Amino acid sequence: MKSIALKHFLYETAGIYLFAVRFFKELFKPRFEFNEFLKQCYTVGNTSITLVSVTALIMGLVITIQSQPAMETFGTESWLPSVVSISLVRELVPVITALTCAGKIGSSIGAELGSMKVTEQIDSMEVSGTNPFKYLVVTRVLAATLMLPLLIILGDTISLYGAYIGVNINQNVSFHLFTNQVFAKLDFSDVLPSVIKGLFFGFTIGIISCYKGYHTKNGTEGVGKSANSSVVVSIFAVFMIDLIAAQVANIFHIL
Amino acid sequence: MEEQSVKKIKLGVFVIIAATCLIVGLYFIGSKRNIFHSKIHVSALFSNISGLMPGNNVQFNGINVGTVSKIYAIADTAIKVEFTIDSDIKKYITSYAVASIGTEGLLGSKLVNISPGKRGGVTLREADVMNTVNAIETDKALRKLLVTNDNLNVISENLKTFSAKFNTPNSLWNLLSDSVVAGNVRNALVKIKITGDRTAVITGDLSKIVQDVKSGKGTMGALLTDASLSQKLKQTIINIEAVTDSFAIITGNFKNVSEKLKNGDGAIGTLISDTTFVHKLNMSMDNIKNGSANFNENMKALKLSWPFKKYFKKKEKENNK
């Protein structure tokens, strides 16, 4: 039982890796499905705006309110905007955005591609001369890769506004002072890694969800399974990448 | 198809908004680090930079004007710190400006502090090396503070014993609080005042006298102011001088005489120095004495003798009258 699970895990890992290699091969082949790419961008990006915005606003607000008592104990309330903004921009907003997107995008891609697979639409595409990988997978992965950083930037902005509201619950800080305090401590080495991290999060979520959907088996039951596992594996992968990214960003922060 | 283009527009709006947020954010961060300003590169030499790092702020009178770009050692006691300064602010920084290493707040990150120094001097140019003053090293300051604290301790201890002594009954305080003493002091002061008044009067008189003397009134005045008198005085002094000269000559003679006397020259010399002569003289004197005694007797006898008796009686009568 144990060896089967391990075997399955290794098989999946190898499959995802090969899937990613194939993605890069297909990416630069001609016949670009630009309209489909824009459509997927809209699906990944615009439909997630509300979800990401609300999550980010609440995140900023809550983190500020929760940090307030601790900062008060040390008498460093005036540092609250700086500290909260660093933790939001560096870590919380990218990860929270990636997790919500993993749930939303991962499940939709997994389910969509899975149902296409089980209803043999992908096979018929191949027959009709359209490259299904290029049309379905490359556009979706690319859309996720490019949209997630944008969502993260939007999330950063909105969460900082949430932090501004949170700070003003207990203190009276003007918006101008708040912005100054935030940008006094923020650095390029805080913003750029979080954006680059967004690219990796988007790519990982896209690749894993597409792989899971693309390799759905066992009919309708398999669609549900692949939608579920694409979300679970994506979330897991997001945390793994975050762990690696933290180490790498730390190296660049020291340099 | 209509729906498709609406989606594309929405997507475009989303992308533009997100990109704008990123660019604005990066601009704010960049403006803090003065990346988008024109700037000049200057440097300064320090012996100890106490943890300054590239990227730390450079402040001019408290305004952020640049960042530290590079730090490296050029000798065992010289650390070269290169930093940028905003072109807008450089016209206020002259060659007399002084750079030092300070801290943001009490425990904040390090920074380079530029203070203007004295007036005049040329403005800062690219690649200039600024004057520096070594920063206050916190541990050194704390060490000094420790000594100060010890001293303060001793002082306060002394002050304590002093104040304790001050409070005891036989103290200065007692003296100060005694009303009798105060009364005496008051009386003394009154007397001093009276004396002062009198002194003032005397001084007035004195000044009047001086005035009179000046204007030649009275003996003293005449003495001091009469020209003929002074002429006479002069003459007198000249005479005295002449007398003194004569006296000197006399004294010289006298000296000769006394020397001769000593040596037994001349009659008086013989008289004084010859002892046998003195003996003879003594004997003569005795003889004279004896002779005079005999003469006295003779005279008495004579008085009583007849021819002269009458005369003595007459004289006695006259005396009794």
pLDDT at B304 over 80: no
Asked if the Cβ–Cβ distance from A150 to B15 is below 8 Å, we say yes
Residue identified by tokens 């929760």 is A66
Number of domains observed in the structure of chain A: 1
Quickly tell me which residue has 């918006």 as its tokens. A175
The nearest CA of chain B is from the CA of A226 a distance in Å of: 28
Q: Residue A32: inside a domain, yes or no? A: no
Same domain, B78 and B19: no
Q: Does B161 have pLDDT greater than 60?
A: yes
**Closest Cβ–Cβ partner in B4, B11, B26 for A41:** B11
Q: Any chain A CB within 8 A of the CB of B15? A: yes
In this structure, the answer to whether residues B74 and B9 fall within a common structural domain is no
pLDDT at A98: 94
Same-domain check for residues B47 and B92: yes
Residues of A in contact with B56 (CB under 8 A): none
Question: What is the count of residue pairs from A and B with beta carbons less than 8 Å apart?
Answer: 57
* Contact (CB, 8 A) for B84 and B66: yes
| Helices B306-320/B275-304 angle, 10° precision | 90
- Give a yes or no: residue B223 inside a domain: no
Task: Identify the burial level of B78 via C-beta atoms within 10 angstroms of its C-beta, where 0-12 means exposed, 13-18 middle and 19 or more buried.
Answer: exposed
User: In this predicted structure, what is the pLDDT of residue B237?
Assistant: 84
Last residue of a domain, one of B120, B136, B152: B136
A36 in a structural domain:
no
Domain assignment present for B283: no
Residues B116 and B143 in one domain: no
- The ipTM value here is 0.82
The pLDDT score that the predictor gives to residue B107 is 66
Average pLDDT over residues A14-33: 89
pTM of the complete model: 0.60
Reported as type and span, the H/E element at residue B284 is helix B275-304
Contact status, residue B274 vs residue B264, Cβ threshold 8 Å: yes
**In the predicted model, is pLDDT for residue A161 greater than 60?**
yes
Whether B192 is in a domain gets the answer no
What's residue A109's pLDDT? Answer: 93
Find, in chain A, the residue whose alpha carbon is nearest to that of B16.
A150
DSSP string, chain A: -HHHHHHHHHHHHHHHHHHHHHHHHHHTSS---HHHHHHHHIIIIIHHHHHHHHHHHHHHHHHHHHHHHHHHHTT-GGGHHHHHHHHIIIIIHHHHHHHHHIIIIIHHHHHHHHHHHHTTHHHHHHHTT--HIIIIIIHHHHHHHHHHHHHHHHHHHHHHHHHHHHHHHHS---HHHHHHHHHHH--HHHHHHHHHHHHHHHHHHHHHHHHHHHT--SHHHHHHHHHHHHHHHHHHHHHHHHHHHHHHHHHHHH-
Which of the four pLDDT bands, split at 50, 70 and 90, describes residue A110?
A: very high
pLDDT surpasses 60 at B83: yes
Residues B120 and B150 in one domain: no
Instruction: Read off the amino acid at residue B13.
Output: V
Residues of chain A with pLDDT > 90: what percent? Answer: 56
> Which residues of chain A make contact with B26, given a CB cutoff of 8 A?
188, 191
pLDDT value, residue A103: 93
Q: What is the pLDDT of residue A245?
A: 87
The angle, 0 to 180 degrees and rounded to 10, between the axes of the packed helices A188-214 and A107-118 is 20
Angle, to 10 degrees, between the axis of helix A188-214 and the axis of helix A219-254?
160
Question: For A98-107, A129-138, A164-173, B104-113, which range has the lowest pLDDT when averaged over its residues?
Answer: B104-113
Q: Would residue B13 count as lying in a domain? A: yes
Whether residue A247 lies inside any domain: the answer is: yes
- A126 has a pLDDT exceeding 80: yes
Give the pairing of strands B39-46 and B78-86.
antiparallel
- Does A157 score more than 90 pLDDT? yes
Residue B67: the pLDDT is 83
Measured in angstroms, the CA of B159 and the nearest CA of chain A are apart by: 38
Burial class (CB in 10 A: 0-12, 13-18, 19+), A65: middle
Closest to A253 measured CA to CA, from A199, A156, A187: A187
CA distance B7 to chain A (A): 7
A104 CB neighbour count, 10 Å cutoff = 18
DSSP conformational letter for B35: S
Residue B6 lies in a domain: yes
With a CB cutoff of 8 Å and minimum separation 6, the contacts of B305 are none
Q: What whole-number distance in Å separates Cα of residue A51 and Cα of residue A110? A: 19
- String of DSSP letters for A145-176: HHHHHHHHHHHHHHHHHHHHHHHHHHS---HH
| pLDDT band at residue B93 under the 50/70/90 scheme | confident
Q: Are A67 and A59 in contact (CB under 8 A)?
A: no
| End position of a domain, from candidates B136, B168, B187 | B136
A170 pLDDT exceeds 70?
Answer: yes
Last residue of a domain, one of B125, B150, B177: B177
Residue B33 clears pLDDT 90, i.e. is over it = no
What is the reported pLDDT for B172? 63
Label the pairing between strands B63-75 and B57-60.
Answer: antiparallel
The C-alpha atoms of residue B123 and residue B108 are separated, in whole angstroms, by 30
Hey, what are A127's tokens? Answer: 């027959």
* B33 or A20, greater pLDDT: A20
Q: Tell me how far apart the alpha carbons of residues A131 and A138 are, in angstroms, rounded to a whole number.
A: 10
Share the mean pLDDT of chain A. Answer: 90
Q: Is residue B150 part of a domain?
A: yes
Q: Residue B70's beta-bridge partner residues?
A: B82
**Pair (B80, B26) in one structural domain:** no
pLDDT band, residue B90 (cuts 50/70/90): confident
The C-alpha atoms of residue B306 and residue B93 are separated, in whole angstroms, by: 147
Query: Which pLDDT score is estimated for A211?
Result: 94
Domain count, chain B: 3
CB neighbourhood size of B271 (10 A): 13
- Whether A150 sits inside 8 A of B26 (CB atoms) is no
Chain segment A43-98, per-residue pLDDT in tens = 998 999 999 999 999 999 999 999 988 888 888 888 888 899 999 998 999 999 99
Element (H, E) at B192: helix B179-214
Give the model's pLDDT for residue A154.
94
pLDDT in tens, B191-245: 888 888 888 888 888 888 778 777 766 666 666 666 777 777 788 888 888 888 8
CB-closest option in B4, B14, B26 to A49: B14
Report residue A1's pLDDT band, with 50, 70 and 90 as the boundaries: low
Report the 10 Å Cβ neighbour count for B283.
Answer: 10
Q: Is B192 on the interface with A (CB under 8 A)?
A: no
Burial of A143 (0-12, 13-18, 19+ CB in 10 A): buried
Mean pLDDT of B74-85: 87
Instruction: Return the sign of the alpha-carbon dihedral for residues A63, A64, A66, A69.
Output: positive
Q: Which residues of B touch A163 (CB under 8 A)?
A: none
pLDDT of B51 over the 90 cut: no
The pLDDT score that the predictor gives to residue B219 is: 66
- Which residue has better confidence, B8 or B137? B8
Residue with tokens 């990613």: A20
* Enclosing domain of residue A183: 49-254
Q: For chain B, what percent of residues have pLDDT higher than 70?
A: 82
- Residue B35 has what pLDDT? 62
> Which domain range does residue B122 map to?
37-136
CA count, 13 A, side-chain hemisphere, B316: 7
Please give the single-letter amino acid code of residue A131: N
pLDDT in tens, B125-158: 888 888 887 766 667 778 888 889 999 999 999 9
Asked if B26 lies within 8 A of A191 by C-beta distance, the reply is yes
pLDDT at residue number B8:
87
Whether A162 maps to a domain, the answer reads yes
Same domain, B58 and B120: yes
Residue at A18 is within a domain: no
What span, in angstroms and rounded, lies between the C-alpha atoms of A237 and B233? 133
Q: How confident is the model at residue B267 (pLDDT cuts 50, 70, 90)?
A: low
User: Tens digit of pLDDT for each residue in B176-186?
Assistant: 667 777 788 78
What's the confidence (pLDDT) of residue A153? 94
Amino acid at B129: V
What letter does residue B214 receive in the DSSP assignment? Answer: H
Please answer whether residues A23 and A141 qualify as being in contact, where contact means their C-beta atoms are separated by less than 8 angstroms.
yes
Q: Flag whether pLDDT at A191 surpasses 70.
A: yes
CA angle, B200 then B201 then B207, to 5°: 90
**Nearest C-alpha neighbor of A80 from the set A99, A59, A65:** A65
A39 to B4: CB separation less than 8 angstroms, yes or no = yes
